Chains A and B, each alone.
Chain A
Amino acid sequence: MNTKFLTGTSIASVPQISTVWSVNDVLETIRVRWSIGRMNYKVETGLYAVGNPTEISPVFVTANFKLTFDHVRRALYGMDAWLLILDTKGINVWCAAGKGTFGTKELCRQIKLVELEKIVNHHKVIVPQLGAVGVSAHEVKADTGFSVIYGPVRAEDIPDFMDAGMKATKEMRAVHFSLWDRLKLIPVELAYGKIYLILVPAIFLILSGLNRKGYSVDLAYQDGLRSVLILLLAYITGCSLTPALLPWVPFRRFALKGLFTGLLVAILLFEFHFLGKGILEIISWFLMIGSVSSFLAMNFTGTSTFTSLSGVQKEMKTALPVQIAMAGTGVIVWIVSKFIVL
C-alpha cells in the first residue's frame, strides 16, 4: 500500500494527507491509465484530514480508487476539510455506485464507524453527484441523521462549489465526454484485448503459410505479417479511432459507427493494394475489418458516458449476429482464398 501522500497526523489521530501530487503519483497515474495494475490501485478506507480541519470543516466523501482519491485531494488544495473514503474495492465513484458498493449502506457504515457525529458539529456530508446512482440521500438522513449534499460531478469544481456556498452550477452538474476525456481512455481501450492481441495474430501468422501446394514458411512470413498488420489496424480503428472521433462519425449506434470507420480503413488499405490481389481475399478483409471494428466500437458503449442499457440492448440484438456472421464468413473466405485464387 502506497502511503506517500500522508504528511502526518491531525487531531483525533486522523491521518493527514497532502493535496499536492508527488512525482510518484504522476507516474502511477500514467501506469494505471495503461491498465497496468488498475484493478488493485487502492487506498485505506476511513477518515482523512486535509489541512487542519475542525468541527466546522466540511466532510467530502469519495471512493478508495487511488486515481479518484488523488483527484479529490488535489482539488482540496488550501482547504481545511475531512475526507471520508468508502470501500469501493478500488473502483471509481460512478461505476462503484452502479454496482452499489458506493452506496447508502457503505456510506452509513462509514459515518458510524468513524463516529462522524463526534468529529463535526454539522450534520452534512458532501457526496459526489455521480455517487447518487448508489446513494439515497433521504435514506442516509433517516439512518444517520446526516444530510447528503450532492457536490459537483468533477472534483476540480469543488473549490468553486464551496465558494458558491455549496451550490453547483448547471455546468458542474453535467457529465461531459470531451475529446481529451476520450483520448485519456485510449490506453485502457488498447489494452482491452489482452491475451487475444497476441493469440489471434499468431493464428493468422501460422495460417498464412497455407497454399495449394501445402505449406510455405516464406508465405507465412510475407502474407502473415501483412495480415497481422491489417488486424491490428482494424483493432485500433474500432477501439481507439472510432471513440476519439465519436461525435464526427455518422450514425447513433456504436456498432454502425465502428462498421463505418472500419470500412473506410478497408477502402484505404485496398487503394494502397494492401489487402492482397485475389478478389476473395479482398472480400474477406472487408468482412473481417468491418466486424472487428464494429464489435470493438460497440464495446465502447460501456466506457461512454451517455448510453443506456435499453439502447445498448436494442442495438446489440441486430449488431451482434451480423458481426459474428461477418467475422465467421470473413475467416472462411480468407482460408479458401489461400487455395483458390480468383
Chain B
Amino acid sequence: MNGFVYLKNVVTLELDAEKCNGCRMCTIVCPHAVFEIKNKRALIVNRDLCMECGACEKNCPENAISVRSGVGCAAGIINGILRGTEPTCDCSESGSSCC
C-alpha cells in the first residue's frame, strides 16, 4: 500500500468470477493489488485503488475482466477534447509524447 487513494466509486473495472480459472495473472500484473485469489477464484478487494491501466484485462486468458482503460491524465483528456479524439498522451502534431 502506498497510501494514495483517488476518487471513490468511479472506476469501470468488472470481473466475471464465473469465467475465472484461478491462474493468478491479474494478481501478478496489477500495480495496486486490486485483486486477490480466494477459493481458486479472483476477487476484487481494493476496487477504489484501480487506475484503469488495463493490464489485468489484457492478461486474463479467460476474458473474465473488463475495464475501460486509458490515461488518467488531465492534459491527455484536454488533448482529446481539442482534437476530438480519445484521451491521448501524444502532445504534439508530430506524434511525440509527454510521458
Which A residues fall within an 8 A CB radius of B? 39, 89, 91-92, 95, 97-99, 129-130, 132-138, 150, 153, 168, 170, 173-178, 246-247, 252-254, 298-299, 301-316, 320
* Bound Cα distance A127, B30 (Å): 14
Q: B5: which A residues are within 8 A, CB to CB?
A: 252, 306
* Bound Cα distance A133, B51 (Å): 11
**A-B pairs with beta carbons under 8 A, tally:** 147
* Bound Cα distance A115, B42 (Å): 36
Which B residues fall within an 8 A CB radius of A? 1-8, 10-12, 25, 28-33, 49-55, 58-59, 61, 68-78, 87, 89-90, 96-99
Given A138-B59, A307-B51, answer yes or no on A312-B74 (Cβ-Cβ < 8 Å): yes
* Bound Cα distance A130, B32 (Å): 11
Of B11, B30, B98, chain A has the most CB atoms within 10 Å of the CB of B98
Q: B97: which A residues are within 8 A, CB to CB?
A: 39, 89, 91, 95, 99
Q: B70: which A residues are within 8 A, CB to CB?
A: 309
7 A-B pairs with CB atoms under 8 Å apart are A170-B33, A302-B98, A304-B72, A308-B52, A309-B72, A309-B77, A315-B7
* Chain A at the B interface: SS class: helix
Q: Which 6 A-B pairs have the closest CB atoms?
A: A302-B73, A307-B72, A132-B29, A309-B70, A132-B55, A175-B31
How many whole Å from B34's CB to the nearest CB in chain A? 11
Contact B73 A312 (CB under 8 A): yes
Contact A310 B11 (CB under 8 A): yes
Q: B51: which A residues are within 8 A, CB to CB?
A: 305-308
Contact B28 A308 (CB under 8 A): no
Q: Output the nearest chain A residue to B96 by Cβ-Cβ distance.
A: A39
Q: B54: which A residues are within 8 A, CB to CB?
A: 133
How many whole Å from A170's CB to the nearest CB in chain B? 7
How many whole Å from B45's CB to the nearest CB in chain A? 13
How many whole Å from B39's CB to the nearest CB in chain A? 20
Q: A89: which B residues are within 8 A, CB to CB?
A: 96-97
Contact B33 A95 (CB under 8 A): no
